[in-house]
Amino acid sequence: MTVWIVLSILALILSPLAWLRPTRRQSGRMALRLEARRLGLGMQLAPQEWPHWLPAEPPSPCAQYHLPRSRKDPLCWVYWQTEPGVWVNQWREPCEDAALMTWLRTLPADVFKAEADKQLIAFYWAERGESEVLQRIAAALKALA
């Protein structure tokens, strides 16, 4: 009888430790972020105010994967993906730059936003998928930076 009481008390004491273990989803995201760092990408959770006209509201904060720009006089742009492969600007006009569209079409459907300013280029991604998806994102970032 005392053995059962002692085991019950130990189980009660050790049960909160199971809550501290990351879930599979959290472990997968941590692995993707470490892989991104190995590929030379920067990553941060960035708060966003998404346009009201997007079909579904992406999360905020959203994972931003970025690289610094290397061109001396880079073009600045921002595009949102409304449907897989359909990229529009803030006025909902489709992207007409053919070179840019070839890279944007390689991105998965859960990349919500592609942005380039004078300092860096960034993709806002839901972090779904495996390392192969991250490889495609990294290749597009490196080609456009």
Task: Name the nearest CA neighbour of 144 among 90, 100, 83.
Answer: 100
Query: Cβ–Cβ contacts within 10 Å for residue 36, how many?
Result: 22
Residue 9 lies in a domain: no
- Kindly state the average pLDDT of the residues 21-28: 85
Residue 13 lies in a domain: no
Q: What is the pTM of this model?
A: 0.84
Residue 78 lies in a domain: yes
What would the pLDDT profile of 39-78 be if each residue is shown by its tens digit?
Answer: 999 999 999 999 999 988 898 899 999 999 987 778 899 9
pLDDT given for residue 22 in this prediction: 84
pLDDT at 6 exceeding the cut of 90: no
Residue 129 lies in a domain: yes
Residue 128 lies in a domain: yes
What would the pLDDT profile of 87-109 be if each residue is shown by its tens digit?
Answer: 999 999 999 999 999 999 999 99
DSSP codes of every residue in 23-75: PHHHHHHHHHHHHHHHTT-EEEEE-----TTSSSPPPSSEEEEEEE---SS--
Residue 114 three-state SS = strand
Residue 65 lies in a domain: yes
Residue 63 contacts residue 124 (beta carbons within 8 Å): yes
Count: domains in the chain: 1
Residue 122 three-state SS = strand
- Print the domain residue range for 43: 24-144
pLDDT given for residue 16 in this prediction: 78
Residue 29 contacts residue 81 (beta carbons within 8 Å): no
Residue 12 lies in a domain: no
Residue 91 contacts residue 97 (beta carbons within 8 Å): no
What would the pLDDT profile of 131-143 be if each residue is shown by its tens digit?
Answer: 899 999 999 999 9
